[in-house]
Structure 1
Amino acid sequence: MLGWQHGGAGLDHPALQPPTAMKAFCSRANPTTGAMEWEEEDEDYDYHQEIARSSYADMLHDKDRNEKYYSGIRAAVCRVKERGQKAIVLDIGTGTGLLSMMAAKAGADFCFAVEVFKPMADVAVKIIDKNGFSNKIKVINKHSTEVTVGPDGDMSCRANILVTELFDTELIGEGALPSYEHAHKYLVQEECEAVPHRATVYAQLVESERMWAWNKLLPIHVSLEGDSDKVIYPTKDMQLCAGSPCVYDIQLNQVNRNHFTALTMVTKMFSVDFSKAVSSSPAQHTVQVQATGSGQAHVLISWWDMEMDPEGSIRCTMAPYWAHPTPNNMQWRDHWMQCVYFLPQKLTVQEGEYLWISAIHDDYSLWYKMQRNSDECKAEVLSDRPLCSCQAHLMCNRQRFGELNDQQRNNAYIKALKTILRPDTVCMTVSDGSLLSIFAHLLGAAQVYSLEISAVSRRVMQKILAANELMGKMIISEKSPEQLTPVDLDNNQISVLIGEPFFTTSLLPWHNLYFWYARTYLAKHLSREFTVLPQSATLLAIAVEFEDLWRIRAPCRECEGFDVNLMDEMIQNSLNFHECHEAEPHPLWEYSCRALTDPCQMLTFDFRHEVPEQSISSSGSMQLLRSGTCHGIVLWMDYSLTNDITVTTGLAKFHSQTGYCEWNPHNKQGVYFLRLEALQGTSTNKQDSIGYSVTFHPKTGELTLDFQQSL
C-alpha cells in the first residue's frame, strides 16, 4: 500500500501527488514484529499495480455515471456551438481520458486533458490514440494548478467547457474546491459551461445504537460468579470526545433498516455551482429542520447528487434506496458511497421540535453540528471540527470500536477465561488496546501483566484502568515481547498467556498471527504447564459469487463506445495473477455474496507450540456445490479459545442449502479475486472445483495463495 494514494478519475489533489522523482514509500504490515514498516521502492517499482488496485475499474463499470457524464458533455458542447463559439474543453483529472474522448466525439473542437499521475497519463495517451482522438486531445501531465495558458503555455487559450471528476464519497475530499477555484481564475472563461453543473449535499438525522457503537467505547458488562456483575466504564474524556475527524464512508444500502430510525426528513444542506467562481474558503451552511420522530440523535447520514446540466434534467445521485428516485433500479458503485457523521454527543429529540443542523467544510473535509436554537448556530464553529481528545480514536477504527462493544463476543472470552483462570494464575495479555487484561483481573487472576507495544494504546489503557479504579491492580508494560526480562515480571513465570488477537497494524486476517510470534518470543517466561488462549487459529476459505464487488476487478473492454481495453491489459499484466496474486481486505458485510462451496479449512496454527522454522503448506480442492459465477475466494481466521469455544472473524451465519452468508461486521475479510477472465461471467456447475495451494512462511509471516478454477 503506497504512502500516498489516489482516487476518483484523477489525482488532482496536492496531497495526493506522488513524489516527483517517482519513488514511493510503501507501508506493509510485518506479522513477525507486529509493526507497520515503510519500504522505499526502487525506480523499477510498478506503479501500475496501484492503478490496478484503485477504483478505475469500478468507475468504468459505473454505467449510470458514464451515461450521465456523456449526456451532460453532449449538452454542454451543443450549447457552446449554438452560441457560435468553438468548444474548448478542459478536463481536470482525466484518468483514462474517457471524459475527454466523450467531449471529442460530441463535437468539441479541442480538449486539454490534465492528469498529474504520470503512469496514468501515459495510459491515457495510449487509450486516446487507440480511439483515434490524439489530434483533438492533448494530455498534460501536470497538476492543474501548474498548468499555464498562452502561446507558449500548456493550453493555447482558456477553455469554455470545464469537465471534471474530482469527487469522492464526501464530495470535496479530493480537493475539488481548490481545483475549481484555481481553474476559474486562470484556466477557463467567465460563465463557462461546467459538467457537472452543480452538486448538492443532503443529510438526515437518525437514531442508531448500532452505528453509535462504532464511535465510542460503551460500558462493558463482565458476569462474575453467582449473579454479580461488574461494569467497565469508559473514561470521561472518552464520553465527551468529539471523535475522529475522518468520515465513515459506507455502503449504507447494506445497513439493516431495523438498525436505525430516521428522526428528520432528508434535508438539502448546500449546493455548489461549478459553472461560476468557486471558493475553497471555510464555510458554514445552517438549515432548520423539524423532528419527525422522538429518540436519541446519534448520527447524521449524508450523501450528494450532481446535475450535469443547468436545468437539472440529467442527475446522478448517491442517495440510499429509501431516498432514491428509482430504488428498484439503482446503480451499484464503490468509488462513491454514503457518509456517516457522528455527533459529538447523543442528544434526546422530541417529535415536532425544531433543530438547526450545520454543515461546515474547509477546503478538503466536511463535518456537521446540531443545535437546538438558531443563536448557537451564529457562533463561530469552524474551529469546532471534530478532533479526538481522548486518544482512543487514534487507537481504534470504527470496526474496532464495534468489536470492543460487542457484548456477545466479550461473553465468549469471559466464558473461556473462567475455565482456565485460577487464584494463583499469573496472566499476561498480548494485544493492542484489549480489555482481556481487565477481564482476567476481575475474574480472579493473582497477577495480570499487559503488553501494550503501542504508546497510544498504553496511554488509553492506563486511563481506562484509572477510570475504573484499577490502577496498580495490573501492570502495563511498554516493552515488546522479545525485550521482556524476568525483572519486568517480578521473576514470575507466566501460567496463562491470552490475546484476542488484535493488533492495530494488521491489514489482513492472518497478520494478527503476530500473537504466535509474541508467544514464541515469550517462551522462556512461560511456566512448564502454561495455558494459551486462544489455543489455535484456523485459516478458512470459501468460494463465492459476489452480487457486485466483482466489478472492482472485472475487465471493461468497452465503455460508452470507447475502447478502454488497455486498462484491462495493464491491470492483468501488473497484478500478474499467475505468480504474485494477493488477497485484499474488504468488510464483506457491506458486499452481498453467495457461497458456491462450503467453508474449507486451509491451515491450522497451534499456539501451544512455538512458530516452526519450516513452512506450513496445504493443497487440495474445494468442490463447487452450487451453480453460479465464481468471482473469488474469501479467507478469514477462526480462533479456538478452548476446545469448545470459538470466535470468528469471518462467517457469522451460513446456510448450506442456499449458500447464504452473513459476515462478522467487526472485521475485514481477505478476498482473493480470481483471474480477470473468470470475472467476465463464466458460469460454474456442481461438477467444477477450485484447486488451492496455501503456504505460510514463518520467516516473513506471510501467506502464498494460489486458487485455480478446474472445469
Structure 2
Amino acid sequence: MKTFCGRANTTTGALDWVEESEEYDYHQEIARSCYADMLHDHDRNEKYCQGIQAAVARVKARGEDVIVLDIGTGTGLLSMMAVSAGADVCYAVEVFKPMADAALSIVEKNGFSDKIKIINKHSTDVTVGPGGDMQTKANVLITELFDTELIGEGALPSYEHAHHNLVQEGCEAVPHRATVYAQLVESELLWNWARLQPVEVEGARLVPPPEVSRCAGSHSVCDIQLSQVSPRSFSPLGPVCPMFSVAFSEPVSSAFRSHSYQFAAQSGGRAQVVLSWWDLEMDPSGSIVCSMAPSWMYPEPKTAPWRDHWMQSVYFLPVDGRVTEGEELSLTVCRDDYSLWYSVRSHRQRDPQTVGPPSRPSCTCRAHLVWNRPRFGELNDRWRTESYVGALRSVLREDSVCLGISDGSLLPVFAHMLGAQKVYSLENSRMSKEVLEQLLEANSMTGGVELLKSRPEQLTSEDLEGRQISVLMGEPYFTTSLLPWHSLYFWYCRTALTGLLRPDVTVLPCSATLHALAVEFQDLWRIRAPCGTCEGFDVTPMDEMVQRSLEFQESREAEPHPLWEYPCRALTQSAAAMTFDFTQCVPENPVISEGSLPLTRIGRCHGVVLWMEYQLTEDVSVSAGLVQPVGDQGECEWSRHRKQGVYFLRSPWESSGDGRAAVSYSFTFEPSSGDIKMDFSVDPQ
C-alpha cells in the first residue's frame, strides 16, 4: 500500500503529492516529533511524579486498590511513575500505533508489563467490563492531553467521555486542575502580526483597505516562545488575570463557556493583544504547580523551565480600542471544545449589541487567509520596506515595464508609486489577487498595477500587450516555501520568462546567497537529543525508534525553525556557501560547493543554521537570517519574518575554540528538483 505526502516543489512553486510507502508518515512523524523535548522537561516530569505519588497515596489511605487510567500515555512514563508509586494496575491508552509499540517496549524493558496494559485506541473507543479493555473503572485519572492553548488537542471531550464512561465518581486526577491566565497589552511589535499598517513611499501614504482594517482577523491562536518577546516590546494595560479553571477530578463539559474578569486599566493605551498561558495544579491543595508562565514572570527569569511542547499564546483583539488609565474594563474569554478567543469591553459601553458573549472571530477580508502572521510582520517592517523601495528607486526609469513575482507582494504597488510606466504582477492565488485589488482600490490606484492570474511558463507577449519586461522583481516570497532555498522558485520563474525579458533587463534581487553558521543552541537541542533514562526509567526504545525513523529517510535534512524564538551562540564565522545568479538562467547541471567552518569559540556545537540573503542591487541587500553581525560572544539576532533551516548533527561536538576543529560542509544544488542536498561532518584535525 502507498501513501501520498505533500512536498514543496521549488521548480514549480506548487505543493506536490509524492507517493511514499505506507510507513513514511509514521517514520516522518516520529523523526520530527518532540517527545525528546517532553522527556527532557525535568520540571514537567517532576511535578507529574509528585502529583501521581500524592494521588496514589490518597487512594491507598482510603483502603482501595489503585486502578489508574493514563490517557495519551506516549512513552508510558507516567504509567511507570504510577506503578512505582504503588498502583495495582494501570491502563495506558495511546492512539498512535508506533508510540503504543514504543510504550510497550519501554514498559517491558523496565519490568512493568505485569501491571501496565497498553491499549492502542482512542480513549473514546475504550471499553470497560468483562472482556473489555479495562476490567473495571479507574479511580485515578492521569492525562497529558494539553497543548499551548490547553484545550486544542481535544482535552475537554476526552475528559468528558472519561468521566461518563471510564472512571469512578470522585476519582483522583493528575493534574487536578488547570487555570488559564491572560494579560491585556498594547504592543506595536505584536499588533504588526495582525493588521496591515499604512506605508510611506516617497511622501505618499499607502493605506490598508477598509475591509482589512475592520476585519476581526483569524481565530486561530498564535503560539510562540513568549519568553523571547522582551517586556520592553509591550505595555501592560491591566494585571495578569485568572480567567477560568477546569477541575479534572470532576465531570468536565466541552460545551461553550464564557468567563469575564473585571479590572481597572493600569495605564492608558490601545487594547490590542492578549497574552495568555496556563498552570497545572497537580494536587487538590495546589502545592504542586507546573507553570507555563513566560520567563519574565519569574523573580529570576533564568530559573524558568524551557519547553517547546507547551509554549504561550498570543490572541489579537478584533479591534484596537483606546482605553484610559483607571477605566473599568471587562476582559472576556470564550471557549468551545477546542479553542479560545478573547474580547475586551469598557463598562461605559451601553450599546445593546455588545451584550452577550462575543462570537468567534473569523476573517472576512481574505487578507488573513493570504498572509500568515510572520508575513504581516514582514510587510509592516519599515526598515525592510525602505530597503526595497530604495532598491526599486535606483533601477526604475520613466519607461520601465515591471513584472512582480512573489505571492501577495507590495513591490508592484511600490513600483507604481515610484513612477514606473507599466507594472504587472503575477498572482497564482485568486484570493491574493482579490486582496491586492482591494488595496489598489482603497488607494485610488485601480489600473495602476495589472494583476495577472497566470503561471510564469504560461505568460505570453499578448498578456503583456506586446511589451517586454525591463525590471523583473520579487522579494522573493512564496507561500509554498518551507525551507529558505525554496524561494529559489523565483529563479525558475525568471528562467521561464526569458523570452519576455529585454536583453538589458534588471533583475531584483540580482542574486541570492545561502549562508551557513555552526551554533550552540541554548535549548532547542533538546528536541533531537537522546534521553537514555528519564527520571530513573529506561526509555532507550524511544531513542532507537527515532534513530530508525531518521535512517528511514532518504537523507538527513534540515528543518525549518523560527530561530528568533530559540537563542543560540555562533561557534564559527558565517560562510557564504552558495551563490545563485538570478541574472542568468537556472543551470542544467548540478552545482556543488564544499568548504568548512572553523570552530573559533568554546561551546557545544549542536548543528548548522542555514539561511538566504538577497542582493537587491549592488548596494542593497536583505537577510532572511541574521539581521545583525554576530556579537563578540557569539550572540545571534535572527529575522522574525522567516524561518531558518537547522541541520542537527548526529552527535554534538565539544569545541575548544582554537579553530583547529571545523564543521565541513558539502552542498549540491539539483536544478531538476530545485532541492539542495547537504552533508556535514566535524573534522577534528
TM-score by shorter chain over 0.5:
yes
Counterpart secondary structure, 1:489: coil
CA distance in 2, matches of 1:94, 1:387: 34
Residues 414-493 of structure 1 aligned to structure 2 (within 5 Å)? 414-493=389-468
For residue 329 of structure 2, what is the aligned residue in structure 1? 355
Tell me: CA distance 1:24–1:369, structure 2 relative to 1, closer, same or farther (3 Å). Answer: farther
CA distance in 1, matches of 2:400, 2:660: 54
Is 1:277 aligned to 2:251, yes or no? yes
Is 1:687 aligned to 2:646, yes or no? no
Which of 149, 157, 163 is the aligned partner of 1:178? 157
CA distance in 1, matches of 2:511, 2:536: 53
Give aligned-pair identity as a percent: 60
For residue 50 of structure 2, what is the aligned residue in structure 1? 71
Cα deviation for residue 697 of structure 1 reads 0.8
Tell me: CA distance 1:75–1:216, structure 2 relative to 1, closer, same or farther (3 Å). Answer: same
CA distance in 1, matches of 2:638, 2:275: 23
For residue 95 of structure 2, what is the aligned residue in structure 1? 116
For residue 33 of structure 2, what is the aligned residue in structure 1? 54
For residue 226 of structure 1, what is the aligned residue in structure 2? none
CA distance in 1, matches of 2:238, 2:19: 50
Q: Name the aligned partner's letter for residue 20 of structure 2.
A: E
Which of 672, 677, 680 is the aligned partner of 1:699? 672
For residue 12 of structure 1, what is the aligned residue in structure 2? none
CA distance in 2, matches of 1:48, 1:672: 18
Counterpart secondary structure, 1:486: coil
Cα deviation for residue 379 of structure 1 reads 5.9
For residue 321 of structure 1, what is the aligned residue in structure 2? 295
Q: Name the aligned partner's letter for residue 701 of structure 1.
A: G
Residues 287-298 of structure 1 aligned to structure 2 (within 5 Å)? 287-298=261-272
For residue 241 of structure 1, what is the aligned residue in structure 2? 215
Q: 2:5 touches 2:25 (CA, 8 Å); kept in 1?
A: no
Counterpart secondary structure, 2:415: helix
Residues 88-103 of structure 1 aligned to structure 2 (within 5 Å)? 88-103=67-82
- Per-residue displacement from partner, 1:531-556 (whole Å, max 9, x unpaired)? 10000000001000111111111111
Q: Name the aligned partner's letter for residue 326 of structure 2.
A: G
CA distance in 1, matches of 2:353, 2:451: 46
Q: 2:604 touches 2:655 (CA, 8 Å); kept in 1?
A: yes
Q: Name the aligned partner's letter for residue 96 of structure 2.
A: F
Tell me: CA distance 1:322–1:661, structure 2 relative to 1, closer, same or farther (3 Å). Answer: closer
Cα deviation for residue 453 of structure 1 reads 0.7
For residue 372 of structure 2, what is the aligned residue in structure 1? 397
CA distance in 2, matches of 1:597, 1:426: 44
Which of 99, 115, 126 is the aligned partner of 1:147? 126
CA distance in 2, matches of 1:412, 1:234: 20
Q: 1:598 touches 1:656 (CA, 8 Å); kept in 2?
A: no
CA distance in 2, matches of 1:332, 1:663: 19
Cα deviation for residue 656 of structure 1 reads 5.2
Higher mean alpha-carbon deviation, 263-272 vs 579-588, is at: 579-588
Tell me: CA distance 1:275–1:329, structure 2 relative to 1, closer, same or farther (3 Å). Answer: same
Q: Name the aligned partner's letter for residue 75 of structure 1.
A: A
Tell me: CA distance 1:131–1:456, structure 2 relative to 1, closer, same or farther (3 Å). Answer: same
Cα deviation for residue 684 of structure 1 reads 6.2
Q: Name the aligned partner's letter for residue 536 of structure 1.
A: S
CA distance in 2, matches of 1:682, 1:414: 43
Cα deviation for residue 380 of structure 1 reads 6.6
For residue 200 of structure 1, what is the aligned residue in structure 2? 179
Counterpart secondary structure, 1:331: coil
Q: Name the aligned partner's letter for residue 288 of structure 1.
A: Q
Is 1:662 aligned to 2:623, yes or no? no
Q: 1:266 touches 1:323 (CA, 8 Å); kept in 2?
A: no
Q: 1:145 touches 1:182 (CA, 8 Å); kept in 2?
A: yes
Q: 2:27 touches 2:552 (CA, 8 Å); kept in 1?
A: no
TM-score, L = length of structure 2? 0.97
- Per-residue displacement from partner, 1:592-619 (whole Å, max 9, x unpaired)? 1110001101111100011111111101
CA distance in 1, matches of 2:417, 2:389: 10
Which of 250, 262, 273 is the aligned partner of 2:224? 250
CA distance in 1, matches of 2:272, 2:157: 32
Count of paired positions: 683
Q: 2:655 touches 2:661 (CA, 8 Å); kept in 1?
A: no
Cα deviation for residue 190 of structure 1 reads 0.3
Tell me: CA distance 1:685–1:576, structure 2 relative to 1, closer, same or farther (3 Å). Answer: farther
CA distance in 1, matches of 2:179, 2:440: 46
Q: 1:49 touches 1:571 (CA, 8 Å); kept in 2?
A: no
Tell me: CA distance 1:333–1:361, structure 2 relative to 1, closer, same or farther (3 Å). Answer: same
Counterpart secondary structure, 2:637: strand
Q: 1:298 touches 1:346 (CA, 8 Å); kept in 2?
A: yes
CA distance in 2, matches of 1:660, 1:558: 32
Cα deviation for residue 66 of structure 1 reads 0.2
Cα deviation for residue 473 of structure 1 reads 1.7
Residues 215-234 of structure 1 aligned to structure 2 (within 5 Å)? 215-223=194-202, 229-234=203-208
Is 1:608 aligned to 2:583, yes or no? yes
For residue 581 of structure 1, what is the aligned residue in structure 2? 556
Counterpart secondary structure, 1:416: helix
Cα deviation for residue 657 of structure 1 reads 3.0
Tell me: CA distance 1:578–1:244, structure 2 relative to 1, closer, same or farther (3 Å). Answer: closer
Q: 1:628 touches 1:685 (CA, 8 Å); kept in 2?
A: no
Is 1:541 aligned to 2:516, yes or no? yes
Which of 521, 530, 545 is the aligned partner of 2:496? 521
Q: 2:343 touches 2:358 (CA, 8 Å); kept in 1?
A: no
CA distance in 1, matches of 2:356, 2:675: 47
Cα deviation for residue 27 of structure 1 reads 1.9
For residue 7 of structure 1, what is the aligned residue in structure 2? none
Which of 494, 497, 503 is the aligned partner of 2:478? 503
Cα deviation for residue 322 of structure 1 reads 3.4
Higher mean alpha-carbon deviation, 250-259 vs 333-342, is at: 250-259
Counterpart secondary structure, 1:135: coil
Q: Name the aligned partner's letter for residue 542 of structure 2.
A: M
Q: 1:235 touches 1:463 (CA, 8 Å); kept in 2?
A: yes
Higher mean alpha-carbon deviation, 528-537 vs 28-37, is at: 28-37
Q: 1:46 touches 1:574 (CA, 8 Å); kept in 2?
A: no
For residue 128 of structure 1, what is the aligned residue in structure 2? 107
Cα deviation for residue 527 of structure 1 reads 1.1
Q: Name the aligned partner's letter for residue 661 of structure 2.
A: D
- Per-residue displacement from partner, 1:339-386 (whole Å, max 9, x unpaired)? 110111111111111100111000000010111128779967556111
CA distance in 2, matches of 1:439, 1:74: 64
Counterpart secondary structure, 1:127: helix
Cα deviation for residue 573 of structure 1 reads 2.2
CA distance in 1, matches of 2:259, 2:350: 14
CA distance in 2, matches of 1:546, 1:423: 50
Q: Name the aligned partner's letter for residue 290 of structure 1.
A: A
Q: Name the aligned partner's letter for residue 606 of structure 1.
A: D
- Per-residue displacement from partner, 1:90-131 (whole Å, max 9, x unpaired)? 000111111111111111000001011111111111111001
Higher mean alpha-carbon deviation, 172-181 vs 41-50, is at: 41-50
Residues 622-633 of structure 1 aligned to structure 2 (within 5 Å)? 622-633=597-608
